[in-house]
A and B are shown apart, each in its own frame.
Chain A
Amino acid sequence: AQIPCINTSAITTYLNNPYVRQSLHIPENITSWEVCSSAVLQKYTFQYDTMKSQYDQIIMAFKYRVLLYNGDTDMACNFLGNQWFVESLGLQEQIQRRAWLFNDGKDQIAGFVKEYQNFAFLTVKGAGHMVPMDKPNAAFTMINNFLKKRPF
């Protein structure tokens, strides 16, 4: 199975190189690596329409931090849908929607963020579905701030 518009030939070639497979301790009887498995997708049963109840439970524990981020040019899982989803959770806004920054020699606007208690919804400006590939510096700044509990 191929991902439309995404070139996966280099990674497919690399991971099917016998020397690479040996380095990764992949048994010889394992079939070729492919980026997505159509067999898995075709046999998959989608049980849920939404993760709202799951997020409600995580939030109600009052001790776990959540970051939802979206490259804002993605159409597979678009930012607006996730913005609506976050709004549907009914969280108390803590910090108003604002620009957040990364540094590429000078401070630049990386996107926009809205923060609630233990919860942030953040966009990455000009990034698509694969945020760390499209905007590596901004993505690294974002995840590092999140993991270290620093402000965005």
Chain B
Amino acid sequence: AFPWNNTILSWQRTAFHFQPEKNWMNDPNGPLFYKGWYHFFYQYNPNAAVWGDIVWGHAVSKDLIHWLYLPIAMVPDQWYDANGVWTGSATFLDDGSIVMLYTGSTDEFVQVQNLAYPEDPSDPLLLKWVKFSGNPVLVPPPGIGAKDFRDPTTAWKTSSGKWRITIGSKINRTGISLIYDTTDFKTYEKHETLLHQVPNTGMWECVDFYPVSKTQLNGLDTSVNGPDVKHVIKASMDDTRIDHYAIGTYDDSNATWVPDNPSIDVGISTGLRYDYGKYYASKTFYDQNKGRRILWGWIGESDSEAADVQKGWSSVQGIPRTVVLDTRTHKNLVQWPVEEIKSLRLSSKKFDMTIGPGTVVPVDVGSATQLDIEAEFEIKTDDLKLFFDDDSVEADNKFSCETNGGSTARGALGPFGFSVLADEGLSEQTPVYFYVTKGKHSKLNTVFCTDTSRSTLANDVVKPIYGSFVPVLKGEKLTMRILVDHSIVEGFAQGGRSCITSRVYPTKAIYGATKLFLFNNAIDATVTASFTVWQMNNAFIHPYSSDDLGVPSST
């Protein structure tokens, strides 16, 4: 294993992504906006930097960027959650009160669903939570394994006025989402039908189900339905640790959902993903404050557990993203960092560069540890024409970032993009890039990739090449946005049609030695890049005090 030292490990801690002060974190839980505060709960081990002893951590924010750590919200103190207060979701009832459904791992490791609610609804901080005396409210039904029944969703209203939830599970190798109706969240009626099922996908964790507008760019409350609405099912695949989603039609009357395109159904390996990098156990909530749907996702580590223990923490949360249906393609979602992230932008520099084939250019932005980059790329028209008129160039519909050699494999029209978190000599670098090939009927086929294979000289790190095809419509330029924050890089292509989050652990490209490069590794294309780079400020994330909260001290 690489001899990590405190200097390197300290640098890895992020500056504007949410993470606890120390120890382990995983799934986002029960996000909501209440009385002026965004609440974020999370799976947290208060005792170590590895998974275990899970409680609900709790933090609040006014803007989803700056956070105050609050006391732990719920701990395993009952037989029905003795082995962990696991993932759950919040629902606002008609009177504005909140109920929280969460999975408990019982004293015998059976997964059951439990009900909790705020002790004092007038408290905007929701500091104290009461567990319902009749817990558990749901136990694994017949035919479902004791350890295959977890992560209840936010409830939505049926046309008959009941509340409906779905819970992920599996039967043999078929991933399923069970459906329950309730009127009081204490007693439930199970549907014999499933919301959805997909063979050979394994256990579905952290199922999410929500509507998206076919016409509007605003988000929708979870209970909204109608002719202008599509419904999204997301499930986290236990087997692969990938979050897959699919878009389809929900039938309220029989509580089922049908995908628009069965060939890219939930969990199918060629199907849609929120993020083609490291992104799991995600959960959305409707932000009634700004009329948008926001997506949280857990970003684990790509280093070893031993390194996590040494640095004393593990995992971050992705920058919250707005999520809407792509109203141009109608085939995918688009995700974009919440607008509040712009409040962290400091000085900026604008660049217009034309770079020929096989060129790497340093971008003079000073230290490049915390950046927000927005870029547009254009391939020289003559080069494009030559390429597409050349009949000897065959269509390449099978190109994949993972298997085609990464950013060093040169093609006619790519790769080109940025190398972030690079050192002066490029011994460490993480290229985020486009690669353009000839697709069917001589159309452009564009993939968006992140290559972490040279991101660090350390050997005890997973260094994949991530990526996917990204739709580029007629008249659109190639665009990308990259958020760089120490050991995390989030890339968004074509306005968020494709996203890639990666964790990288440079050993030389750290502190003041971190550089940014623009590169064009294509053989035949000259590329023009117009981009702006902002230095990013630190977010204010620390334990709360009475002063922070604007409330009188209790002492």
Bound pair (A, B): no
Interface set of B (CB-CB < 8 Å, partner A): none
